[in-house]
């Protein structure tokens, strides 16, 4: 019995030592950020802004600039959490204050930060690591990429280098320096979770997703690789609480390099424009369009007076490559096209009618806005096989929604129409890859559709086009 206890004791001791040595070995493999932080932090700055605001109702404790426009899930996080602000003295206008981060990119005082950090600011103050504070001039901003370029009057300043973010790999260690909740020069680290993420708020930015702890005040600060180079600019978080939840997003440094160059030269940014509305390709849509896999960007609409229309692109085309870059997800089209200089000619590869073709397109200038809004209709004919009632599209609605052809949905009854989520007021513009120009054509085509086969249907809802796919049981 004594020998058995002695054996168990020795066995447990060896096991614990083994676990300890294993833990120490793993710890030894973790990166040491101390030298990086010492070298890089002097170039990181704190940015404070103020702006005159309209008088808020009584009982309001503080004002977060732009908070009424923030998306529910993706929260810009430049706001600093303030205690109750003192009311303005008589004769003074109330002011809103906010705080964020930024970093020097040249020794003569150019600073990169987020656009939303300095948006609508009347006064911008930059605090350097040596405790100096200086007024900053806004050189230019780019809301679409959420970047802004500032300038302070100083020389021989420490600055950071923007690296090639395309070389960044998922799983790579990264580090952020910023001022979360006003705690200056806080350091957090993590790994790259994903690349090329598309967020609804910024279509033209292929975001870097990380699990680095980012909170209010980190916005506009640098994201470093282990070489101490800036690979991203911390911009957004995904949150339900307003704080860090393990999903942080940074603007790639390559995007920033292009934006900074244009802002320094002209004060604004010009982007390429194709002039199409696109959507993802589902497995059913891929089958209906003769694709081998569910990849690419399906063109749902070609805008009037656009480069796409001039080049002959059509609704129903599936873009598979842009200038030699393969398109897997539809959002990649905006990323690649937006990075191309206007007036430059590129080759777009697409699938049309099951065949792959190349089209030369001269990229245009991205306009400030492209929009369309909707209307209604009357009378109609019931199509039992699909489960809806349709009518002739009014010329007013066609003009308002910029639709050349189609029929109006008056009633959604059952079957396929209900399963697809079609709504009264939707306009059907094509079915089974055929343009729909009349109610009669739609009725005849519906009668000839084959069962148990994926069929594409293009609709326009409140001015926005969308492809869906369905199968008929009989």
Q: Which residues of 164-188 are buried (b: 16+ CB within 10 A; e: fewer)?
A: ebeebeeeebbbbbbbbeeebbbbb
Q: Which residues are catalytic?
A: 116, 146, 219
| Tokens found for residue 267 | 């004060």
Residue with tokens 């739609």: 442
Q: Which of 303, 348, 311 is nearest to 326 (CA)?
A: 348
| Tokens found for residue 412 | 């959604």
The CB density around residue 110, as the number of other CB atoms within 10 Å, is 18
Q: Nearest-5° angle of CA 128, CA 130, CA 136?
A: 25
| Angstrom distance (rounded) from CA 146 to CA 154 | 25
**DSSP code per residue over 169-181:** -TT-EEEEEE-GG
| Angstrom distance (rounded) from CA 179 to CA 248 | 15
| Angstrom distance (rounded) from CA 334 to CA 275 | 10
Chain center to CA of 22: 41
Residue with tokens 């209900």: 418
The CB density around residue 190, as the number of other CB atoms within 10 Å, is 17
DSSP-based three-state secondary structure for 177: strand
The CB density around residue 300, as the number of other CB atoms within 10 Å, is 20
| Angstrom distance (rounded) from CA 104 to CA 123 | 19
| Tokens found for residue 127 | 């605090």
Q: Are strands 222-224 and 44-52 parallel, antiparallel or unpaired?
A: unpaired
DSSP-based three-state secondary structure for 458: strand
Q: 384 φ, ψ to 5°? A: -65, -40
């Amino acid at each position: 019995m004594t020998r058995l206890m002695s054996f168990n004791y020795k066995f447990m001791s060896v096991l614990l030592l083994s676990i300890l040595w294993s833990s120490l070995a793993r710890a030894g493999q973790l990166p040491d950020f101390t030298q990086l932080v010492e070298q890089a932090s002097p170039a990181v700055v704190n940015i404070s802004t103020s702006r005159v605001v309209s008088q808020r109702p009584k009982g309001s404790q503080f004002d977060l600039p732009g908070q009424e426009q923030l998306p529910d899930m993706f929260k810009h996080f430049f706001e600093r959490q303030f205690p109750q602000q003192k009311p303005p003295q008589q004769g003074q206008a109330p002011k809103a204050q906010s705080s964020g981060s930024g970093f020097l990119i040249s020794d003569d005082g150019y600073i990169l930060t987020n656009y939303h950090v300095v948006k609508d600011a009347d006064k911008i103050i930059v605090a350097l690591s040596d405790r100096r504070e200086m007024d900053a001039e806004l050189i230019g901003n780019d809301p679409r990429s959420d970047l802004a370029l500032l300038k302070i009057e100083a020389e021989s300043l420490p600055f950071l280098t923007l690296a090639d973010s395309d070389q960044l790999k998922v799983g790579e260690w990264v580090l952020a320096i910023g001022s979360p909740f006003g705690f200056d020069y806080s350091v957090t680290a993590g790994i790259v979770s994903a690349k090329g993420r598309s967020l609804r708020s910024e279509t033209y930015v292929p975001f870097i997703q990380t699990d680095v702890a980012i909170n209010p005040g980190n916005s506009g600060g640098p994201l470093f690789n282990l070489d101490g180079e800036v690979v991203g600019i911390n911009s957004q978080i995904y949150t339900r609480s307003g704080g860090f939840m393990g999903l942080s997003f940074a603007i790639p440094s390559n995007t920033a390099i292009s934006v900074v160059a244009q802002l320094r030269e002209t004060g604004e940014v010009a982007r390429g424009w194709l002039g199409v509305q696109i959507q993802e390709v589902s497995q059913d849509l891929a089958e209906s369009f003769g694709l081998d896999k569910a990849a690419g960007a399906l063109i749902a609409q070609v805008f009037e007076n656009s480069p796409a229309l001039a080049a002959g692109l059509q609704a129903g085309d599936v873009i598979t490559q842009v200038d030699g870059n393969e398109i897997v997800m539809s959002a990649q089209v905006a990323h690649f096209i937006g990075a191309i200089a206007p007036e430059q000619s590129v080759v777009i590869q697409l699938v049309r009618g099951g065949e792959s073709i190349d089209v030369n397109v001269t990229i245009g200038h991205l306009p400030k806005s492209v929009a369309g809004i909707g209307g209604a209709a009357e009378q109609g004919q019931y199509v039992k096989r699909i489960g809806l009632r349709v009518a002739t599209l009014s010329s007013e609605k066609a003009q308002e929604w910029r639709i050349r052809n189609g029929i109006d949905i008056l009633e959604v009854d059952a079957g396929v129409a209900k399963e697809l989520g079609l709504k009264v007021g939707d306009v059907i513009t094509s079915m089974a890859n055929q343009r729909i120009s009349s109610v009669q054509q739609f009725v005849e085509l519906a009668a000839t559709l084959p069962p148990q086969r994926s069929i594409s249907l293009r609709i326009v809802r409140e001015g926005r086009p969308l492809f869906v796919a369905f199968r008929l049981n009989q």
